[in-house]
Amino acid sequence: MKTNLQKTIDEIIRVNHAGEYGAQRIYSGQIKFCKEKKLKKKLETIIAEEFEHYDYFDKTMLKKRTRPTVLSPIWHHGGYFLGAVTSLLGEKYVHACTEAVEEVIVGHYNAQIKYLESLGVEKELLKKIKKFCADEDEHRSFAEQSNQSDQIVDLFKGFTKNLTRLAIRLSKKI
């Protein structure tokens, strides 16, 4: 039987695995439909980092015998759909999506870092989450600097942030 700490570590691994999978799917949809060559190249760099993050959590999940979220099919199709739609809407929506999602993820990772540091456990996991948090913050910063904000884009960012927060809450438990 797992302890409360082990259950919390399982939740961290499960939600991060799901999140990195969802991020790959978003960027896959954006890359597929992106017409701007410079942006497409940047998205290809970003997705390579997302694959690195996912691979780590995938291996850790197997090693710690953590079950994945049952919501993966939703993140598979929903992430790709979000990426494709934002790409079809244009570059400012690609940036808005990236900025919104990564802002929530950075906050999410920072909370995990604070929790793991407070307990002094899972040093390797903590180190990886810190590195991945820095990567995600770079993605956010790039998008924020490139974004041309307007009222509708701001509404879209708010919607995307709330959607991301919901995905995190659900993936921890389900």
**126 has a pLDDT exceeding 90:** yes
What CATH number is attached to the domain comprising 160? 1.20.1260.10
The pLDDT score that the predictor gives to residue 131 is: 96
**2 has a pLDDT exceeding 90:** no
Task: Assign 43 a pLDDT band (cuts: 50, 70, 90).
Answer: very high
The pLDDT score that the predictor gives to residue 128 is: 96
**Residue (of 102, 96, 104) closest to 151 by Cα position:** 96
Q: What is the mean pLDDT of residues 133-146?
A: 87
The pLDDT score that the predictor gives to residue 113 is: 96
Task: Give pLDDT tens digits for 72-115.
Answer: 999 999 999 999 999 999 999 999 999 999 999 999 999 999 99
With beta carbons less than 8 A apart as the criterion, state whether 67 and 14 touch: yes
Range of the domain at 27: 4-173
The pLDDT score that the predictor gives to residue 52 is: 94
Q: What is the mean pLDDT of residues 42-69?
A: 94
**151 has a pLDDT exceeding 90:** no
Split into its structural domains, the chain has a count of: 1
Cα separation, 156 vs 154, whole angstroms: 5
Q: Which residues fall within 8 angstroms of residue 103, CB to CB, at 6 or more apart?
A: 140, 161
